[in-house]
Amino acid sequence: MKILVTGTAGFIGFHLAKRLATMNENISCIDNINDYYDVDLKYDRLAALGINKSDIESSMNGDFIISNIFPFLNFAKVDICNMELISSIITKGSFDIIIHLAAQAGVRYSLVNPNSYISSNIQGFLNILEVLRQAKPKHFIYASSSSVYGMNTKTPFAENDTVNSPASLYAATKRSNELMAYTYSHLYNIPSTGLRFFTAYGPWGRPDMAPYIFTKSIMEGKPINVFNNGKMQRDFTYIDDIVESVIRIIDKIPVSKSLNQAPAAIYNIGNSKPIELMDFIRELELALNRKAIINYEPLQAGDVAVTWADCSALQSLIGFIPDTSLALGIEKFVDWHNEYYLRGK
């Protein structure tokens, strides 16, 4: 298959591209390598895929660079907001599968820079959909988020729950993506699957998320801020489980079951075991053999107190649900973190 993965310098995109490359799939990767967080981490992820920073910097936007590790993987620096480039790449690529993970991430940052979310998550997403009207891939898979459940109080969160109360602009853009994808699936018969990811963590994770922030602070003997006075629960989901789920979903192409139903689907991808934040910190303390210094803070704007995935639909579809234990996941993350930063990062 010919597969396009957007957002490949990002956390999930990097892991997915690497897994597909080891399977010898024909992978084209794009990312704009923005500076929302440390670009060196993004370039190091790409280097692990065999794409060197010097080659990217010397290339023109849109020019593909062939990996020096994986013979069937290539990468181009592209912003999904550049309609001309996106249209050219997707049209010429004749991709069977498009996995769209590129987006402006972060709940709290959406309170600071809302325009970047409209640009990337709305306009950029629309650009992809507009090109797909003509390109007609076999399957369009895109990243949504558990944040769409917003202020819902019913747990666990199921795909058929009402999602009309987003707690952040980020959540609102992700719910908008789901509605936009459904509409284009209906109008232009584009099979689409949205994936509501729940608190992904693991090696190469984002430095703006709790595992990374907490680990760094504990190692440096600095205090960590724990919001909602520690009364938070998150459905922490290990990255390898997320990638395994996405891989299995690729050939599960939605079909219309009636004239009134689009070939569109949405699935939760979570560990289905919400973890108290204080329990998460205790596991980190054990892995690091250090105690955390904790500042308790009230709930922040945009945050929700609990996330919890009902993954029964995913189980029925692919015969798999995430199941990596928190202890094992944290051990692997800490091992990577220490190795990565001890080498000078």
Q: Assess if residue 228 is contained within a domain.
A: no
Could you tell me what percent of the chain has a pLDDT over 90? 91
Q: Assess if residue 281 is contained within a domain.
A: no
Q: Assess if residue 175 is contained within a domain.
A: yes
Q: Assess if residue 48 is contained within a domain.
A: yes
Question: How much is the pLDDT for 344?
Answer: 57
Domain count, the chain: 1
Average pLDDT in the chain: 95
Q: Is the pLDDT of residue 345 over 60?
A: no
DSSP structure string for 23-66: TT-EEEEEE---SSS-HHHHHHHHHHTT--HHHHHHSPTT--EE
Question: How much is the pLDDT for 276?
Answer: 94
| pLDDT tens by residue, 256-311 | 988 788 999 999 999 999 999 999 999 999 999 999 999 999 988 878 889 999 99
| pLDDT tens by residue, 70-86 | 999 999 999 999 999 99
| pLDDT tens by residue, 180-211 | 999 999 999 999 999 999 999 999 999 999 99
Q: How confident is the model at residue 143 (pLDDT cuts 50, 70, 90)?
A: very high
| pLDDT tens by residue, 147-165 | 999 999 899 999 999 999 9
Q: What CATH number is associated with residue 89?
A: 3.40.50.720
| Domain boundaries, position 95 | 2-200+236-270+308-324
Is 165 strand, coil or helix?
Answer: coil
Whole-angstrom distance, CA of residue 59 vs CA of residue 57: 6
The catalytic site residues sit at 170
Q: Is the pLDDT of residue 341 over 60?
A: yes
H-run or E-run covering 334? helix 326-342
